[in-house]
């Protein structure tokens, strides 16, 4: 039964379900669900909130010479979120304080 359950958990997890959702649905603990998923070879997704995609124009603003602080203010984001969005968009960041 564990193999069948592991396969079911794997399919549901790869379909987008969270570990917490699966544990609740199948009457398992979070830890047991995670252990079963790992035993099936699943690569676990990142925990916690994901960095949102950079809004249209953010990358161009930075690559056009604006600082991260300026881009953050323009798009209404914090410095940290703006930096993470730029990195997620594969932007090479300039050294601090350097403009184009």
Across the chain, mean pLDDT equals: 90
Task: Say yes or no to pLDDT of 50 above 90.
Answer: no
Q: How far apart are CA 65 and CA 58, in angstroms?
A: 11
pLDDT band at 46 (very low <50, low <70, confident <90, very high): confident
Q: How far apart are CA 35 and CA 6, in angstroms?
A: 9
The C-alpha angle with vertex 75 and arms to 69 and 81, in degrees rounded to 5, equals 60
Write the CA distances from 21 to 31, 33, 72, 94, integer angstroms: 12, 10, 34, 41
Determine contact, residues 20/12, Cβ cutoff 8 Å. no
pLDDT band at 3 (very low <50, low <70, confident <90, very high): low
């Amino acid at each position: 039964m564990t193999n069948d359950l592991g396969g079911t958990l794997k399919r549901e997890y790869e379909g987008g379900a969270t570990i917490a959702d699966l544990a609740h649905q199948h009457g398992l603990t979070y830890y047991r669900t995670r252990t079963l998923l790992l035993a099936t070879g699943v690569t676990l997704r990142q925990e916690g909130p994901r960095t949102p995609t950079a809004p249209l124009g953010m990358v161009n603003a930075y690559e056009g010479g604006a600082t991260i602080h300026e881009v953050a203010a323009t798009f209404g984001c914090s410095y940290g979120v703006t930096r993470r969005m730029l990195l997620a968009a594969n932007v090479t960041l300039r050294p601090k304080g350097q403009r184009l």
